[in-house]
Homo-oligomer: A and B are copies of this chain.
Amino acid sequence: MPDSYTKEVRDLHLFSDMEDQHFQSLIRAAYVQNFPPQIELISEGDPSDFLHILLTGSVDLFSSWNERETSMATVRPVSTFILAASVREAPYLMSARTMEKSRIMLIPSQNVREVFAQDGQFARAIVDELAQCYRGVIKNTKDLKLRTSLERLANYLLREQLRSGGGASFRLEAEKRRLASFLGMTSENLSRAFKGLRPYGVTVTGKQITITNQADLEGFAKPHPLIDER
């Protein structure tokens, strides 16, 4: 049932413009649940019964094939996930597991589709959100196909730096092994990649990253808005 997170949810771009009556109807249908760390919330292939909204904590979206597994994205509060599967009534393409203790709101997909049909603002917001998600994945594909692992790491660090405020020093949000998987490499290779960036002015101490030579790193990474801008 609704709680103090309602306001934060309401402020999400997806819900911010819709009529209050419709928002309330979604919230009434929704329920909020707490999950411990390392719980598999969703398994790929499952029917998409709920739109999920991460309120607190963090969630890893990952996929598997033939005994292999890769991290596709990390969800941080407050944001929705698996909207595409919900609106298409199609099975999930990714699995989701909590990385830490997490609070999650679940809105039945059925209700989302009903409100979609009634509320033009909501429909518009869903289109925006989907288009943005789509563009995000395209950027990710470009990153994967056009860059080496060292270049991907360099650009990732620049993005994280920006996200953390732009200072020379910042902390990695992700565990390194998850980061490795997200960037499409092994943990061992990530370790070596960090070393490989030392000549370009990157210092690593645990999760603490310091960029001692911004110009050098950018010269190597060559970040590009059509790949890296989020």
Contacts and interface: CB of A to CB of B under 8 A. Distances in A.
A133 B127 CA distance: 12
Nearest to A71: B145
Nearest to A181: B145
A75 to B, nearest CB: 14
A70 interface: yes
A15 to B, nearest CB: 16
* Interface majority SS (helix, strand, loop, mixed), chain A: helix
A174 interface: no
Interface stretch (A29-37, A118-126, A187-195, A196-204): A118-126
Contact of A226 (B66, B87, B93): B93
Interface string A203-230: 0000000000000000000101111000
Given A84-B134, A88-B131, A131-B88, A63 B146 contact: yes
A81 to B, nearest CB: 12
Given A127-B130, A131-B84, A146 B64 contact: yes
A164 interface: no
Given A63-B142, A88-B128, 19 more contacts: A44-B226, A45-B225, A65-B146, A65-B224, A66-B146, A66-B147, A84-B131, A84-B135, A85-B135, A88-B135, A91-B226, A93-B142, A93-B226, A116-B124, A120-B120, A123-B127, A126-B127, A130-B131, A145-B184
Interface residues of A, number: 49
A224 B88 CA distance: 19
Contact of A93 (B69, B85, B139): B139
